[in-house]
Amino acid sequence: MNTRRDFLQKITASFFALPFLTRQGLEDINDHNNEPYDGPLLRVAIMGLGSYGTRVAEAMQACTKAKLAGVISGTPSKITAWQAKYNIPDKNCYNYENFDNIRDNPDIDAVYIITPNALHKEEAIRVAKAGKHVISEKPMALNAKEGQEMIAACKKANVKLLVGYRMHFEPKTLEIVRMRKEGELGKILFFQGLSGFRIGDPNQWRLNKELAGGGSLMDIGIYSINGSRYMVGEEPVWVTAQETKTDRIKFKEGVDETIQFQLGFPGGAVASCLSTYNMNGLDRFYLNAENGFAEMQPATGYGPIKGRTNKGELNYPHVTHQTVQMDEMSAILLEGKQPPLPVDGEEALKDLKIIDAIYEAVKSGKKVKLNL
């Protein structure tokens, strides 16, 4: 039986349920760390100790409702280093072959999967079968079919499935959503989402079709896909898309370099978005409406996010996104809290359906209908 590490080496070698958003809801998130906390603590094992896993671990040191309790990795040296740095006991350390044993570990409540996209489904199903809550990085899976299998497995195991939509807890983002929900902007007419950067190492897994499931769209483009939905406040009903590829050596077949896509919404609004691995400095959202506008630039980076509307600058203080995300996810999993924007598997499945449709539109050159 091949191990996960063998698989990686082989490959390398060759709206939705949105509750009414109030100012109090924004303040609860913005001030999440100001009040002394004496409630349940979410004990999390991180699976995948790479750069983003490290970022999450560092951010969790400031959490009040969540704690880094365990690690899952195929690299023993990383496990040893994390144990020393974060005081993680041997009994909470696992590799990719034995992590099913977390079912017998009462000190771990949830596993945060931060591995290549192609591994999410299998790993999430194993975690669910072990009786632990699943937190998956986005995209949740390679496609909607896999996403649905993950949702079904978690429901069968009676565990919850959340996805790392950190922007769903970001105060400036939520203020614009509040303004839109409360009618301050009027009828929404247009959204633009620009998401891109020039990717480096050509041998990394993000440029490997079998591990990533695609290219820029599966990584950075999902921010504009998801952002269009919560900014407009409706689910799109059609999509068109065009792909541009200038470097066919770096961006091989099935690995998109740049995709422009357009979304149509039932209320008449349209979105024009771009996802790219070959242009730097693209991180901008713009929302136009009858009575105003909202702009964010940077819109989805690690921060600080900058935003303004027709009423002026948005001046919420910056808090590390992953810190807020993990504390809020603790409240969702342990206290039944309803977030202002959903972060569950059903939310992620909608993005996967749109991604599937975008790739279909690129191939066919035709408008593809959506039914989310």
Q: Round to whole Å and give the CA distance between 137 and 114.
A: 6
CB of 74 closer than 8 Å to CB of 4: yes
- List alpha helices for the chain, DSSP H: 4-13, 23-30, 51-60, 76-86, 120-129, 144-157, 171-181, 209-212, 216-219, 221-232, 321-335, 345-364
The residue among 169, 98, 165, 168 whose CA lies nearest residue 136 is 165
Catalytic residue among 223, 230, 316, 359: 223
Buried b (16+ CB within 10 A) or exposed e, 242-279: ebebeeeeebeeebbbbbbbbbbbeeebbbbbbbbbbe
Which residue type, as a one-letter code, is found at position 177?
V
Residue position matching structure tokens 């591995």? 115
Q: Round to whole Å and give the CA distance between 332 and 228.
A: 24
Q: Which residues pair with 258 in a beta bridge?
A: 244, 276
Q: Establish whether 223 is a catalytic residue.
A: yes
Residue position matching structure tokens 């279909």? 360
Identify the DSSP state of 267. Answer: T
Give the sheet arrangement for strand 42-47, strand by strand: 93-94, 66-72, 42-47, 110-113, 133-136, 161-163
CB of 173 closer than 8 Å to CB of 325: no
Strands 42-47 and 66-72: parallel
Q: Establish whether 138 is a catalytic residue.
A: yes
Q: Counting Cβ atoms within 10 Å, is residue 315 exposed (0-12), middle (13-18) or buried (19+)?
A: exposed
Peptide bond into 139 cis (omega under 30): yes
Per DSSP, the three-state class of 301 is coil
Give the catalytic positions in this structure. 138, 223
